[in-house]
Amino acid sequence: MFVAWRDLRFAKGRFTLMGTVIVLITLLVGLLSGLTAGLARENVSAITGLPADRLAFAAPPDGRSVSFTDSTVTASQWRDWAARPGVSAAEPLGIRTLNAAAGGRTAAVSAFGTASGSGIAPGGTGPGRVVLSTSAAKELDVTPGDTVRLGTLDAAVAAVSGDASYSHTPVVWTSLGDWQKLGHSGTTPEEQATVIALSGAGADWAAGDAALRTSSKTIDEALGAIGSYQAENGSLQLMRGFLFAISALVIGAFFTVWTIQRSADVAVLKALGASTRYLLKDALGQAVVMLTAGTLFGTGLAVGFGALISGGDVPFVLDPLTVLGPAAVIVVLGVLGAALSIRRITAVDPLTALGSAR
């Protein structure tokens, strides 16, 4: 890197400008990543936090995919699932989004109804007793012992536990019986829930689905059944993807121009006996230095900015993966873009150093 280091210092202005672009792109990608992770957590944390291997939905009509809003399972289905070989647990789970009120306050919440002792909800629920997630308690400003009104049901707050959230609303855990009353229109007398949380090893899930007219999905697959999740996550990931592509292209363009500008120097070095490998290593090292410096700085800014806003109402997740993952991707894509541009060093003819071009 003998020449590359000195070029970096000599052409300070150009490299600073390019470095700033990398810093800004990294900052933007970092913020977008934190926001994507934050929004995703608000959308799915109640589902991903379930201690279950799979979720069984009611089998959708032909050509449709499963969805939480369209699914209704019956007591006979979860009892039959529980009886199948290899299935260690089959617990009904009711999910319904509705308004909750306490004192003067109201909030949209997701009521998660579970059978008592099922182990998939925090303990403390029972007839007339509910457990609130932290943010539900905060929004309604209640503490254990207070009363909340869920739709038509008045219930005592038994405990405040966890930060489960579903479809951007905080979760309120209820007993299955209470949950069934919440949406009861009086016309469906049979016991019912939304999905069945299945656990077990070596069970034949497909055979169970076929026999019981359900469609069981892994937890990850089931996330797609949350209406807003896929669209929301998809568009954010698309934006991130575009930013990655833009950064690679911008860096590629910069190094293309830079390499063309210094091709006379490259010819001289070749004439003096520099091997092509030496020159490629030199140039690529320069790209790596600039990219790493820019990306580290941008990531630092994103972390600082994220720490500022993540305490408030903005859903923002700061963890090593959301912060360092995109940074690494930018470095890798940037090096690829630079490598493609730097390749033209191979084609520089040392004979031109003898000409009177300069």
Partner 1 sequence: MSLLLDHVTLTYPDGDGRLTALDAVSLDVPAGSLAAVVGPSGSGKSSLLAVAATLVTPDSGRVVVAGTETSSLGPAQKAELRRETVGIVFQQPNLLPSLTALEQLQVMAHLSGRTSRTARERAGELLDAVGLAVQAHRRPHQLSGGQRQRVNIARALMNEPSVLLVDEPTSALDHERGAAVMELLAGLTAERGTATVLVTHDRTHLDRADRVVTVRDGRITEEARV
Nearer to partner 1, 241 or 355 (CB): 355
Q: Is 275 in the site for partner 1 (CB under 8 A)?
A: yes
User: Which residue lies nearer to partner 1 by CB, 63 or 273?
Assistant: 273
Q: With the C-alpha atoms ordered 48, 49, 50, 51, is the resulting torsion angle positive or negative? A: positive
Q: Which stretch binds partner 1 (CB under 8 A): 5-13, 89-97, 112-120, 251-259?
A: 5-13
Q: What is the DSSP letter of 143?
A: -
| Interaction between residue 7 and partner 1 (CB under 8 A) | yes
How deeply is 264 buried, as exposed, middle or buried, from its count of CB atoms within 10 A (0-12, 13-18, 19+)? middle
Q: How far is the CB of 340 from partner 1 (least distance, A)?
A: 21
Regarding 184 and contact with partner 1 (CB under 8 A), the answer is no
Amino acid identity for residue 159 in this structure:
A
276 binds partner 1 (CB under 8 A): yes
| 161 vs 152: CA distance, rounded Å | 23
Closest CA to 292 of 31, 25, 19: 19
CB of 41 to partner 1, least distance (A): 49
- 55, β-bridge pairs: 197, 217
Out of 278, 280, 314, 343, the residue judged to bind partner 1 by CB under 8 A: 278
Given the rule CB under 8 A, which of 22-30, 154-162, 214-222, 273-281 is the region that contacts partner 1?
A: 273-281
Element (H, E) at 24: helix 12-48
Query: Does residue 268 bind partner 1 (CB under 8 A)?
Result: yes
Beta carbon of residue 18, minimum distance to partner 1 (angstroms, whole number): 16
Q: How many CA atoms lie within 13 A of 351 on its CB side?
A: 2
CA 27 to CA 250: how far, in whole Å?
A: 16
Residues that bind partner 1 (CB under 8 A): 2-3, 6-7, 9-11, 264-265, 268-278, 350-351, 353-354, 356, 358
